[in-house]
Amino acid sequence: MNKQTDYEPLTIKNLPTRLGRIQTISRHIGQDPSQWTVTEVGDGNLNLVFVVTGGGSSVIVKQALPYVRLVGDSWPLPLSRSFFEHEVLLRQAERDPGSVPEIYHFDRDQAIIAMEMLTPHVILRKKLIAGDLIDGLAERLGEFCARTAFRGSDLSLKTSDKKKDVALFQGNAALMGITENLIFTDPYFDAKMNHHTDGLGAVVDELREDVELKCEVQKMLLKFTANAETLLHGDLHSGSVMCTASDTKVIDPEFGFYGPMGFDLGMLISNYLMAYFSQPGHRSENDLKDYQAWILLVIEETCSVFENEFRHLWNTERTGILFPKSLFEDQGHSSKIALKNMLAQIWEDAVGICGIEMHRRVLSLAHNADFEDIEDTQIRASLEVRNLMMGRDLVLQRKSIQSALDLTSLAKRYNSETYP
């Protein structure tokens, strides 16, 4: 493909012509682009996504749009977010091999990434709504969160490399701004693009009048903006994970940034909890209890795997500037207290982020299908209230919720509550 200086959106019609001569793509789907089949599948909030099939194989082609697709051209966004997504994918592939799709081609000017087609993988959120069980889900995502958190931090990286990377990802400011507003700010007042289910008005008013809650959320926002601890996925919800019955991959890290180590873990747990609370809108009584119990078990196992893997990396790969062995073990001193304190802080941050995200997905702009697919708004609202009230507890009590078992016990309590 000849380099194009002027950005042009891909279409089903022009894609074969524009990408047909790129060998890293055509070697997977055939040298004759006239034989390719192109289908647009993008149902996300920001980008164009196509499945291109030929020769019995398929690739995914993703192109950033110069605006938020969910809203339209009234909300412009820089095309550079595609560059940052590409950069995060490269780092994730290195830090946790096999966790993300393989990249075949990247065009920075056209904001295009062509990558491995994950098949027969399905979006995790769809599987959770359908009531599917996924073997190894907790192990895979617990390892992913631990490995990317540790290996992208000053515990592992050379300090010069880390500082250069922090500076690079400051360029993703537009998407960081979306996070700062949509997650940490907009849910807590009547922002322009907010919306929520009918029947939640009284609960929403109660949350927005809670000054203590808003202050604690802003403390978490300060951590988000000031603590460049590690390179994060930045948007690790159940729509950013694809699974089969026994395999799990992570996708769509365009919100990648340097932030608190607990951010990705907290966001992931929040999506499990929203799946948990929404289940009565999707399951019959016959299998509801068992499936909800499985979701809580996934949360507990994910957190256990995260902690165990982080401990392992601490003991085997601690080569960065933070807590160096030259300062501890080489002096005959244990670093166990330092590790314990760091894990406690990561967990506290994860719990706070979890509660905030539980609010955002019900009150802000982009909602979860877990609740939205429940057609009966009265049932939906009754389940969302449980989610919102637990979210508040997580933010306010994050220092006292000291384990995943504490968290799942709280979820069980709220799941039994009935609100007027």
What percent of the chain lies above the pLDDT cut of 70?
98
- Statement to judge: residues 209 and 85 lie in one domain: no
pLDDT at 61: 97
pLDDT over 90 percentage in the chain: 93
Note whether 49 and 41 are within 8 A (CB). yes
Residues 252 and 341 in one domain: yes
pLDDT at 159: 96
Task: For residues 142 and 282, state if they share a domain.
Answer: yes
At 40-69, the pLDDT tens digits run: 996 667 899 999 999 889 999 999 999 987
Return the closest-CA partner of residue 359 out of 388, 394, 324, 393.
Answer: 388
Please report, for residues 3, 34, 167, 179, the alpha-carbon distance to residue 19 in angstroms, rounded to integers and kept in the order given.
11, 11, 32, 33
**Which of 318, 360, 314, 366 shows the shortest CA–CA distance to 336?**
314
**pLDDT on residue 103:** 98
Does any domain span residue 230? yes
CATH value at residue 277? 3.90.1200.10
Q: Are residues 68 and 138 in the same domain?
A: no
Exposure string for 26-36, b = 16+ CB within 10 A, e = fewer = bebbbeebeeb
The structure tokens listed for 103 are: 């990249």
Q: Note whether 34 and 98 are same-domain residues.
A: yes
Q: Is the pLDDT score of 420 beyond 90?
A: no
Owning domain of residue 93 = 15-116
Cross-strand partners of 114: 61, 105
pLDDT confidence of residue 44: 65
Of 67, 88, 116, the domain-final residue = 116
Judge contact between 324 and 318, C-beta under 8 A: yes
Domain assignment present for 28? yes
Give yes or no: residues 29 and 133 share one domain: no
Tens of pLDDT along 322-380? 999 999 999 999 999 999 999 999 999 999 999 999 999 999 988 999 999 999 999 99
Give 238's pLDDT tier (boundaries 50, 70, 90). very high
pTM of the model: 0.96
What's the rounded mean pLDDT across residues 148-155? 98
- Confirm whether 36 is domain-assigned: yes
pLDDT at 164: 98
User: Which one of 116, 139, 166 terminates a domain?
Assistant: 116
Residue at a domain's end among 91, 116, 141: 116
Residues in the chain: 420
Confirm whether 6 is domain-assigned: no
Total structural domains within the chain: 2
- pLDDT reading at 16 higher than 80: yes
Does 269 share its domain with 399?
Answer: yes
* Residues 214-231 pLDDT 10s: 999 999 999 999 999 999
CB 404 within 8 A of CB 306: no
d(CA 186, CA 91): 31
Whole-Å CA distances, 354 to 4, 183, 281: 42, 11, 22
- The yes-or-no verdict on residue 4 having pLDDT over 50 is no
Please state, in angstroms and as integers, the Cα–Cα distance from residue 373 to each residue in 208, 217, 367, following that order: 25, 28, 10
The predicted pLDDT at position 322 comes to 98
Q: Write down the pLDDT at residue 97.
A: 98
